[in-house]
Amino acid sequence: MKDRSKVIFGNQVSDKAYRNALKSKKKFIKKYGDDSNTDYKIRVSDNEVIGPLLGVKNIEVTAKIPANEGQMDTEKGIIVGNIRMGFGHYRISMAMASYARHLGYVPYWMDLNSFKETTCTKVIGAQNDLYSLGSRLSKNPIFNKLVWEPTNYEGFRALTYNSSDQKNAELMAPVYRNVPKDIPVIATHVWPAQAAIHAGMKYVVNAIPDNWPMALHLSEGSVHTIQCKNAYMGYRILNGMDKKNVCKPMPQESLVYTGHYIDYELVSNINADCEARVNRKKTGKPMRFLLTIGGAGAQKEIFAEIIKHLIPLIKEGKAALYVNVGDYRNVWDELVKEIPGMKELSTEHMDNWEDTLSFTEKALLPETEVTGIHGFYHADIFKAVYATNLLMRSCDVLVTKPSELAFYPVPKLFIKRVGKHEMWGAIHSAEIGDGTLECRDIPHTIQMLDQFLETNLLDEMCESIKENKKAGIYDGAKKVVELAVKLREAK
């Protein structure tokens, strides 16, 4: 097989960079072992949380069983390859699964960070832990300026970074050993795409999440999909990925613009949900703000200031709050302890999935009055992530850092990013009218809260979202699933 660490889309990697890639792989082998010859079996089971909602089945990879357990549908099956690194890649995966089910396919969830006995998961877990640490340390302005933002913006942009990643991904290929090679793979992180290609999977779509073109996301041999035209142009010429040198471009057939990766359940209800938002504002009902903490849990301090500002308005019936702390129960407890008056206004929905489902369904009804503060926490990662998707439909404004949620069809207030690459998500959202500029400090965040409450900004964003829907901007997940199927049909 072609050595994908030496030449990347026709661009020769230097001998020094290639040696570094080899050293990186050897370092991981020394630490975690080489299981290239291990015959990992697969176990297929129903996903108890999002299975009933999205038709998802889990793929478990293990050497602890003598034979494969459960059947994969080789005609209608689509593998959604992902990793848990924060919540973003899980959320995009859920969008792919949602549309796969809607279009009549069976989505198989394959999280390469969940097979603990494999070298694959050990390698990913180590890098995930390092990334999470960096996210938390980025709250230090010196570390953020000198280390974190340059790494996320320029470090991951370089072809040399992709060279090492490709070599490391060779250690991830064994998890696909017993997966039927004809089943299409949609990867929502580059490592599941790279590993699939190394393992000989025939039809791989690499769904790139970010709006800042980086060589980090390249998986030669797969078809790359892009959510935004700006990123499409950057990837097409591999812009800036070899410093000032002009790179050889990606082949046209390797790159497809699709639009935003959004769940069918959200896209199909855009008009109704936007009309409900406008009607609530028109009739003077409390404006519902959804605060959602990501998988790195790095936004608590900003959320605290937002809640403090809104508490008087909540008491007056002008605002209401949903706070989803994901699987970070400590964040909720600390907020309640630190903010005077929060506890008295709060209703807790703690690790009770049926209660969460009931709340989100009732909140969509026109006659339902939502008041006060509602806190949500779930220990299970699927519940923690999908709770935001469910709450999103009935909220008026989503308050989030400009990560993967920057692309969702709901009015958005963007707080400070975690990593400079996220900056472009806010820029894109502001350009298409469904989100604010990135508010990089508390005063500007508070100013934007007041803009939603006191002006017609919410109505303007709702109108933009409906226009974007007409233009197909939110149809990305649908197009990715269709593309994955066409790859197989074309052979």
CA angle 400, 83, 227 (to 5 degrees): 55
* pLDDT tens-digit series, residues 77-118: 999 999 988 788 999 999 999 999 999 999 999 999 999 999
Determine whether 353 is exposed, middle or buried from the number of CB atoms within 10 Å of its CB (0-12, 13-18, 19+): middle
Q: How far apart are alpha carbons 142 and 122 in whole angstroms?
A: 30
What count of residues does the chain have?
491
Per-residue pLDDT tens digits for 138-155: 778 888 888 878 877 788
Radius of gyration, alpha carbons of the chain: 22
Give the pLDDT mean for 310-328. Answer: 96
| pLDDT computed for residue 294 by the predictor | 66
Helical H segments across 364-441, by residue range: 381-394, 423-432
pLDDT band at 250 (very low <50, low <70, confident <90, very high): very high
pLDDT per residue as tens digits for the range 376-425: 999 999 999 999 999 999 999 999 999 899 999 999 999 988 878 888 99
pLDDT in tens, 323-377: 999 999 999 999 999 999 999 999 999 999 999 999 999 999 999 999 999 999 9
Q: For residue 439, what pLDDT band results from cuts at 50, 70 and 90?
A: very high
Task: Convert the pLDDT of each residue in 187-242 to its tens digit.
Answer: 999 999 999 999 999 999 999 998 889 999 999 999 999 999 999 999 999 999 99
pLDDT-derived band at 314, boundaries 50, 70, 90: very high
Q: What pLDDT does residue 423 have?
A: 87
The closest of 371, 372, 363, 373 to 395, measured between CA atoms, is 363
Helix (H) / strand (E) containing 241? strand 241-244
Whether the per-residue pLDDT at 296 is higher than 60: the answer is no
Supply the mean pLDDT for the chain: 94
User: Which pLDDT belongs to residue 57?
Assistant: 97
pLDDT tens-place string over residues 472-489: 999 999 999 999 999 998
Total-model pTM: 0.94
pLDDT band of 2, cuts 50, 70, 90: confident
The reported pLDDT for the residue numbered 297 is: 53
Q: How far is CA 477 from CA 97, 462, 468, in A?
A: 9, 21, 15
Distance CA 312, CA 67 (A): 61
